Structure 1
Amino acid sequence: MIDTLRNLTGLTAPDAPEANDRDLALDFAKGVLIILVIVGHLIQYILYRDEGFWDSPCFKWIYMFHMPLFMAISGYLACRALLRKSLAQAVGDRAMQLLLPMLFWYALLETAKLAVLPRAPDASGDILPVLNDVAGTYWFIWAAFVCFLLVKILSIVDHCSPWILFVSVVLVALAPLKFSIFPLIKYTYPFFCLGFSFAQSRDRWTSIIRSYKLILIVSLCIAALVCFLAWQKDTYVYNNLALVQDMQSAKNVLLMLFGSAVASAIMIELFLQCWRFGRSNRVVRFIAVEIGQSTLVLYLIQGTVFRLMDSIQYAVPLDLTTRLAVAGILGGAIVLVALMVRRTVRDIPYLSQLILGASPRALLSSGSARA
């Protein structure tokens, strides 16, 4: 199966221009995380078609850490661009990398929706639903861009000292914004800052962690288990909106942030150890080299697919066996299509930038670095 996919897709390439020294361990972590993103959406849209997914242990486990850890890795990998590039260059490059391909896939989404679900004659032409749609479908792209922009502005003011970052995290967390995707930005911003801070002083933090590694792992595992057991429907950011209004909402938000932090710490350690001991395994390397370096296009395609599915009403409920089969086929198809799209357009200058968010030169240099 791996050989078949490799022959169909070829070697994929990174999302960042600075790819010559990329860390395959982080690519492996990103690969597993994007698979979990797809699995989480399959649980929500295929296995459950009602509110039941909130109580699914698998859904809960995935959603405790997958997007916070993704954002922490994003902050870690963005450190070089944040510190070395000018504001205009950094923001421009990030917009070309994230926003341009997002708008392309959103255009495909709207085209498909018009083809499958024709607009009613009296449908309003209000722009607000369109903005909500593009924001909600690809919210992580917007969150990553906004987090990058905020930290870049702070780096100009004070070179992003830990105290300035901490103050910004507190201010963002306490901001009384609950519309659109602002709660999701408030939720993920602290993790972007954590990743960025770790990249700034990696040696110091690595030394501290190494000295107390066993105690930290045991403590984090216990904390993560307690948070998992205490995690309820109102703990999800989609329901509490990261808004502190009273003591109960404060407990929900605190549990959400703390639980996500300890779960993310445990999972990144697990991913890194899996890469350390399994990097010679073909499946592990496939996840790192192929899937982990295709996370942007995978996220955009799966977001497009699931948003389109969200607009379709199913008349006949399916039995569990059929739903599991449909979920497996759909998940595999999303991955295969994403890798094939990347293989097809990666060497075409304008299409590569438009669809993948990376220029062919960046892709080529990455392939040469791995050869």
Structure 2
Amino acid sequence: MEKVKKAYSCEIDILRGFATILVVLGHILQYSMMQNEAFYNDFLFKVIYSFHMPLFMCISGFLFKHSYDKYGKKTYIYRQLLSLGKVILIWNAIQWILNCLLGVYSFDCIVDVMKSAYTAFSGLWYIWALLIIQVVVASVYMKKYAWVIYILMMLILSLIPIKIVSFAYLTAWMLPFFLLGLYLSETQKLPSYVISKFMFFAVFIMFIAGVAFYRPNMFVYKSGMNIFDSQYGIILQIGIIFYRVIVALLGIVVVKELLLWCYKKNENSRFIKWLIKISHYSLHIYILQRILIETLAYQLIRGKSLSSNVVWFDWIVAPVMSVVFCKVLAEILNSLNIRYKNILHFLFGR
């Protein structure tokens, strides 16, 4: 039993560690090609953004049941509200102050100040989405009407305009993947290497083909989740969402199979150990990269080209930068955690 638990823990850590690197790599690609939103047509960017956040949410859903059973509904909800709520307030406040110092906002009146604060505190959309989903799912978990609540929740969040709540539609997009992870944990289907080589290659080819036909309007950031107020019409919008879900699921399966194959080949390899260490600080890295990459680095490189060779930058330079960034940050955080564990817990939650 202990070996099974250890293997399950390592499998989750490996997937989460790799997904963390993909977050950093995706943002490096995005903020190096901001002009005319060229990143939407970049193949590697499309590969990453087609599945990496759904993978994160699927892992969170998979881990939900263990925490819920351990603490119970009321304590679980309280812990999540306190932990993630605190993270959202602290780091969005830091982001707002930093943006003010960098001159990102221009203030002509008190309304501008309020608008800038609202924009800043809407940041860290994934943590907002995770908090909302966890609280709602925990509130109705094991209830007969739970699926009705989930469907209504997804519909309502999809209809909320971006100008009012910028992360609402993204929460709607993430909900099905959280529920998928929860279903896998309930059925005790560990993320093990289970499909045949033939099936893997078939899934891999379908995923690459799906990404190849990915158009800018297929990204959730472009077309959203609202089927009733879509510029593409109800039928086409439903088709876009369905296509988006299928490609995300294919990407999750491909990455899962590849990583767990590496793990089974040599579970003590340096690569596997790196991913596990990075996974322990996935939330920390997600938060800090927003400041270091999305804000500070972007202010330095804005309007500049990092490389004249896109292929070289995409497949060599950017991946190396993202791995080094995550590895160095994980090592620094690990050292700080030994000396200042309580401070890190306060800043980044439990």
- Please state which band the TM-score falls in when normalised by the shorter chain: 0.7 to 0.9
Give the deviation of 1:89 after TM superposition: 0.8
Give the deviation of 1:272 after TM superposition: 1.6
Question: Matched residues in 2 for 1:223 and 1:326: separation?
Answer: 27
Deviations 1:273-302 (A, max 9, x none): 2222132212321221x1111101000101
CA change 1:173–1:214 in 2 (3 A) is: farther
1:77 aligns with 2:63: yes
Asked which structure has the greater RCO (Cα within 8 Å, sep 6+), the reply is 1
**Matched-pair contact (CA < 8 Å) for 1:138–1:300:** yes
1:38 to 24, 48, 53: 24
1:351 aligns with 2:343: yes
2:328 to 321, 336, 351: 336
Give the deviation of 1:56 after TM superposition: 0.4
Corresponding letter in the other structure for 1:223: M
Equivalent position of 2:213 in the other structure: 230
1:287 aligns with 2:275: yes
CA change 1:83–1:213 in 2 (3 A) is: farther
Equivalent position of 1:174 in the other structure: 155
Residue ranges of structure 1 left out of the alignment (5+ in a row)? 1-18, 359-371
Question: Matched residues in 1 for 2:134 and 2:302: separation?
Answer: 43
2:114 to 127, 131, 151: 127
CA change 1:80–1:47 in 2 (3 A) is: same
Question: Matched residues in 2 for 1:307 and 1:221: separation?
Answer: 31
Indicate the larger mover: 23-32 or 184-193: 23-32
Aligned length: 330
CA change 1:71–1:144 in 2 (3 A) is: same
Residue ranges of structure 2 left out of the alignment (5+ in a row)? 229-233
CA change 1:343–1:145 in 2 (3 A) is: same
Corresponding letter in the other structure for 2:65: C
Alignment of 1:45-60 (within 5 A): 45-60=31-46
Give the deviation of 1:345 after TM superposition: 4.0
**Matched-pair contact (CA < 8 Å) for 1:143–1:184:** yes
Deviations 1:80-125 (A, max 9, x none): 1223433321012123432323333223323322333286452434
Alignment of 1:136-285 (within 5 A): 137-155=123-141, 157-158=143-144, 164-165=146-147, 167-175=148-156, 176-179=159-162, 180-203=166-189, 210=194, 213=196, 216-245=199-228, 246-285=234-273
TM-score, normalised to structure 1's length? 0.77
Deviations 1:173-206 (A, max 9, x none): 4332342111111111100000011001115x88
Question: Matched residues in 1 for 2:334 and 2:35: separation?
Answer: 31
Indicate the larger mover: 307-316 or 140-149: 307-316
Question: Matched residues in 2 for 1:339 and 1:259: separation?
Answer: 34
Equivalent position of 1:304 in the other structure: 291
TM-score, normalised to structure 2's length? 0.82
**Matched-pair contact (CA < 8 Å) for 2:20–2:286:** yes
Question: Matched residues in 2 for 1:172 and 1:220: separation?
Answer: 31
Question: Matched residues in 1 for 2:66 and 2:29: separation?
Answer: 36
**Matched-pair contact (CA < 8 Å) for 1:33–1:70:** yes
CA change 1:346–1:88 in 2 (3 A) is: farther
